[in-house]
Copies of this chain bind each other. A is one copy, B any other.
Amino acid sequence: MKYAILAVLFAALPAQALIKTKLVEYKHGDVVLQGYAAWEDGFKDTRPGVLVVHEWWGQGPYARRRAEQLAKLGYTAFALDMYGKGVYAKDHEEAGKLAGAFFGDRKAMRERALAGLEQLKKLPFVDQGKVAAIGYCFGGTTVLELARAGTDLKGVASFHGNLATPTPTTEKPKASILVLHGADDNFVNPGVPAFIEEMRKSGADWSFVQYGGAVHSFTVPEAGTDTSKGMAYNKEADRRSWETMKSFFEEIFSDKPTK
List residues of A whose CB falls within 8 A of some B CB. 5, 9, 13, 177, 183-184, 196, 199-200, 203-213, 236, 239-240, 243-244, 247, 251
> Which one of A183, A203, A207, A209 has the greatest number of beta carbons of chain B within 10 Å?
A207
Beyond the given pairs A205-B212, A208-B212, 15 more chain A to chain B contacts, judged by CB atoms under 8 angstroms and listed by A's residue number, are A9-B9, A183-B196, A183-B208, A184-B200, A199-B212, A200-B212, A206-B212, A207-B240, A208-B209, A208-B210, A210-B210, A239-B251, A243-B247, A244-B244, A247-B247
Q: Check if A236 sits within 8 Å of B205, measured CB to CB.
A: yes
Contacts of A209 in B (CB 8 A): 207-210
Whole-angstrom distance between the alpha carbons of A196 and B177 in the complex?
Answer: 23
Q: How many copies does the complex hold?
A: 2
Q: Which residues of B sit under 8 angstroms from A199, Cβ to Cβ?
A: 183, 212
Give A203 to B203 CA distance when docked, in angstroms.
34
**Are the CB atoms of B247 and A251 closer together than 8 Å?**
no
A196 neighbours in B (Cβ, 8 Å): 183, 210
Q: Which residues of B contact A13 (CB under 8 A)?
A: 5
User: Nearest residue in B to A206 (C-beta to C-beta)?
Assistant: B212
C-alpha spacing A153/B200, complex, angstroms: 35
- Alpha-carbon distance A63/B210, docked complex (angstroms): 27
Question: In the complex, what residues of B have CB within 8 A of residue A247's CB?
Answer: 240, 243-244, 247
Report chain B residues within 8 Å CB of A207.
Answer: 209-212, 240
Q: Chain B residues near A200 (CB, 8 Å)?
A: 183-184, 212
Residue of B nearest to A211 (CB): B207
Q: CA–CA, A9 to B251, complex, Å?
A: 24
Smallest CB-CB separation from A196: which chain B residue?
B183
CA distance A123 to B122 in the complex (A): 57
**Chain B residues with CB below 8 A from A206, complex form:** 183, 212-213
Q: How far is the CA of A5 from the CA of B209 in the complex (A)?
A: 35
Residues of B contacting A213 in the complex (Cβ-Cβ under 8 angstroms)? 203, 205-206
